[in-house]
Structure 1
């Protein structure tokens, strides 16, 4: 039942069915007084009253007096329905203001003539003889005026009003939202999708752009029905609406050309030329029609565009029959249907004086929008499938390369480990040669000379043993941990300090590891400290040894070895141990400072 009511409302809206409610009265006779350009005209008229046809598209005002006779005053509320009233209007009944549509003192702004209007009449205001007084202010070229009035019980009038409103306003909003969704999807695809051909640079897909422009323009065109107070004043808003209409069918034509694959032909240049010509002439035609109060400019432009697209639709439909594809036939059928509906709208609304008719294009465009959306989504799915295949192929190639790289990395890692082991063996051999080997060689020379005492020989052998132990300890030193390094040296050498009657003062802070000291630097630093301690044992004749470790304020550490021995002159005394200290300090980038005098010798290592 609801479906039948909606169908009946749509047919009534289109003028295909007479009024079904017997109690509703249609008022057509009126007395009218008009003021146009300061001239007052009075007389009788028959509604509907098409302002633009009556006054050549000029602005003005009119007062309509319409009698309503009833057999007896009703006990229930009445209502009055206008299919078109305005552009702005006041509705009076028996001297009482019932409703006001817009501000009569603001021309070229609000427009209430685009949608049906409904006014409630309280029962106590109705008499046997009643008089409606309708004050209308109309803007030139805006299809203002007054339709016939439908008066009757409030329930029946309201039902009729809602039926028409749903089809005209809500239907337009629904179609505009649909166009917005399709347009946004198409534009997003145009931004994100790129097509490439062999030997040509990549470019964006024009099919998506033309579809997006067409649907966004149509959304703007249909949204006008719901905007009683548009953002631009008239006639600028009318010019924008004409441009939106031109953008819709020009974008649709380009879309059809892309769907058929004709964009690669020479005809595409001519189609683009015609499209640009229509777009560039749309605004001047609308401006001339609205400012010169001559609708012939816009009617002629609409007529030229309509017949041009009728010819294009015929050629396109014939092409779809010669080489049929699903997309081509679908677009051709929707396009031909819309072109025929557009011709009907031009003939009924533009070329004739029919005032109450509405455009059917707002409904028929849904078919073209559905076809457009279907093709856009289908093309996107095909492109996505191709992209997935390409990505799968690329992924397979990447995996193959990754496996090859992994094998190469494994070989390099194995080679690096072998090089590391070789370097470690080389270091151990060098340390043994420079440390243990040199001390054993010295012990052999001492024995061969026969001049060395047993104490000297014992000292040399002990140094050799300490060197060997430290070489082994160096393999497990934590990187950057100076506290552990010094503790290890103390563990190895403290018995020798006690045997030599040297008191050890331990003043070492617990410091966090220093990141700049790797394993190699730690080994060099270990031998530097060992060399300094060995010099104290062999040459200083000291009774007290002090080891200090402090953190530096700006980062790093300061390590000091201090003894109270006899001292020496660092500039004059040239010992192999001192030269080794300087070489190792330079190798790891630390600062070595030596100061010595009788009773105090300081070896300071600054690590920054």
Structure 2
């Protein structure tokens, strides 16, 4: 260990070491300049062109032959040039070489506890070593640049979609995961840290864990699952893990221990990634989902391998290659996100078309109701008045019927989302004062009736007319003092039974009294697609309507009903 700018003399404190020499294992607390000296014997078998190749040297270094510098990687003082992932190759000028014994010196700067050190050193024929060095550079650096570029594009897609889709979390999580991915792989090719070297090292090394922190809940939401406990647990562990990485670069903790702690974050994240990707592939059977599942199962073990290299459990010289599998993984997941966007757009278009169609049908229904209901009743009232065969009470009854019909049309058109209970309540309010004036009380036992029951426009109007007809029949024919609205249990699933009962004199149902409007009730029930039963006797009359249990459901962004 010496800060000398040129190779130290032989009488300094040299010590024998074995290559590869990882400082995080052999001298964890050491930071600064170290020298390696390797004898080169060119007495026999010396190549015509001598090349020297160092596949891994961290953080940066220089190569000297016989005391003369032949290659420099850049600054060896803060901020040190980050060449830890760049292979060093140099062809040694023939004039520097001597027959027989020569000396190769390597000057190296390493940060404390950051996998600094020197890997294998190769010397031989320059052409073959140069080709090998170029291959290693493409593998180490160019692949990382490609992975970074793909991650940046995917991050842009995620964040832009998040902004345009009303801040829907799934897209934001994908964008953040891709940002963490991009930050992670800048470490593989960025030579000059954009800020303090320690802070940058903490950022790029913790980004691997933060990728899983964001990617895990993204995959869960993509599969329409929510595991909030796991998500909050991973977030807390990631914060602690980032602190541990900082402690490692200060030399306070062994790097292997920190990686072990990070595994506590990474293992559950990768387990979810594998499980959810397999589930998506099995359930969707789409090409993109199946390929993403296959790539995920390749990516995870390769990432384990990279962590083992960092932990010095696999050779210091080994190449990091997991980012190559990450490229197709990011592209496939981005494609799945785009598929989801397209599906959402198509669902929104279909929903808009359905709403327009429903509005058109509603306008037609209102027009038809005005013509068939209110129009006919007004026409009947007009004829009675024109013929002069009416008294005040008859005209009043006719006009009241017209007013009731108009209220029914207005209320059924204005009902929120087709919910039926507010319509019944409105009918009760309109009729209660009228009924009480003639001595008929209302009993309301609708607690068991689902407040969010919805009925199609045509069905709800016909059902309301049945109820209205039942009330009118009670007023005109029953001599009742009580009308009761209530809900009873249905023996069949997904059905609601609604009853209108009175305590009047009753009648014979099989007698077919036209004045009771029974045939009209049955026609309306048939038109509405509901089941109608009428029971009558000495104790009164019961109108029983069997309705489908259609509940109001919130819609997702793709227009489909949300899970209840």
Q: How high is the TM-score relative to the length of structure 2?
A: 0.57
What residue is the counterpart of 2:177 in the other structure? 214
Cα offset, 1:357, TM superposition: 1.8
Question: Is residue 136 of structure 2 the alignment partner of residue 136 of structure 1?
Answer: no
Residue by residue over 1:76-116, the C-alpha shift from the partner in whole angstroms, topping out at 9 and shown as x without a partner, is: 54321111124232211012111222223x24532222221
Larger radius of gyration: 1
Offset of residue 358 of structure 1: 2.9
Q: In the alignment, which residue of structure 1 is the partner of 2:344?
A: 383
1:110 aligns with 2:81: yes
Cα deviation for residue 320 of structure 1 reads 4.8
Q: CA RMSD in A?
A: 3.1
1:341-352 aligned at under 5 Å gives the runs 341-350=302-311, 352=313
**Separation of aligned partners in 2, 1:181 and 1:370:** 9
| Distance of aligned partners of 1:317 and 1:100 in 2 relative to their CA distance in 1, 3 Å threshold | closer
Name the SS for the 1:226 alignment partner: coil
1:309 equivalent to 2:272? Answer no
CA 1:147/1:318 → structure 2, altered by over 3 Å: closer, same or farther? closer
Q: 1:44 to 1:243 in 2, by over 3 A?
A: closer
Q: Does 2:226 align with 1:254?
A: no
Matched with 1:45 is 17
CA distance 1:394–1:127, shift in 2 (3 Å): farther
Choose the corresponding residue for 2:160, options 185, 188, 195. 188
What is residue 205 of structure 1 aligned with on the other side?
168
The answer on whether the counterparts of 2:308 and 2:314 sit within 8 Å (CA) in structure 1 is no
Please state how far the C-alpha of 1:73 moved relative to its aligned partner.
9.0
Match of 1:373 in 2: 334
Contact 2:219 2:273 in 1 (8 A): no
90 and 259 in structure 1: CA distance in 2 versus 1, 3 angstrom threshold? same
- SS of the aligned residue for 1:341 comes to helix
Write the distance in 1 (CA, Å) between the matches of 2:129 and 2:278: 48
Partner secondary structure for residue 71 of structure 2? strand
Aligned length: 352
Q: C-alpha separation between the residues in 1 aligned to 2:45 and 2:318? A: 33
Point out which structure has higher relative CO (alpha carbons under 8 A, 6+ apart).
2
The partner residue of 2:130 within 145, 158, 179 is: 158
Aligned partner of 2:321 in structure 1 is: 360
Cα gap change, 1:160 to 1:207, in 2 (>3 Å) = same
TM (norm. structure 1) is 0.53
Structure 2 partner of 1:589: none
- 1:239 matched to 2:202? The reply is yes
Aligned counterparts, 1:88-127, within 5 A: 88-104=60-76, 106-107=77-78, 109-127=80-98
Paired position in structure 1 for 2:231: 272
Closer/same/farther in 2, CA of residues 273 and 359 from structure 1, 3 Å limit: same
Contact 1:259 1:328 in 2 (8 A): no
Give me the whole-angstrom Cα distance separating, in 1, the residues matched to 2:179 and 2:323. Answer: 14
Task: Evaluate the alpha carbon distance shift between residue 283 and residue 176 of structure 1 in structure 2; reply closer, same or farther with a 3 A threshold.
Answer: same
Q: 1:375 to 1:130 in 2, by over 3 A?
A: same
Contact 2:114 2:255 in 1 (8 A): no
How much does 1:55 deviate?
Answer: 0.2
Q: Aligned to 2:197, what secondary structure does the other structure show?
A: coil
Which whole-Å CA distance do the structure 1 matches of 2:193 and 2:80 have between them? 7
CA displacement 1:333-381 (0-9 Å, x = unmatched): 4333322222222234316263112333212212321221120111121
Match of residue 175 from structure 1: 147
Alignment match, 2:52: 80
**Partner residue in 2 for 1:510:** none
- Structure 1 stretches lacking a partner, 5+ long: 1-32, 195-203, 401-608
Change in Cα spacing, 1:398 to 1:150, as seen in structure 2 (3 Å) is: farther
Distance 1:240 1:307, change over 3 A: same
Correspondence 1:173-572 to 2 at 5 A = 173-194=145-166, 204-263=167-226, 268-293=227-252, 294-313=254-273, 315-316=275-276, 319-320=279-280, 323=283, 325-326=285-286, 329-350=290-311, 352=313, 354-390=315-351
Distance in 2 (CA, whole Å) between partners of 1:77 and 1:251 is: 52
* C-alpha distance in 1 between matches for 2:165 and 2:13: 62
- Secondary structure of the structure 2 residue equivalent to 1:63: strand
Contact 1:34–1:41 under 8 Å retained in 2: no
Give the Cα separation in 1 of the matches to 2:284 and 2:25.
46
Equivalent-residue separation in structure 1 for 2:160 and 2:38 (angstroms): 54
- The CA distance in 1 between the partners of 2:151 and 2:164, in whole Å, is 20
Q: Deviations over 1:290-326 (max 9, x none)?
A: 1134214422222222332354346436745874553
Task: Give secondary structure in 2 for the equivalent of 1:68.
Answer: strand
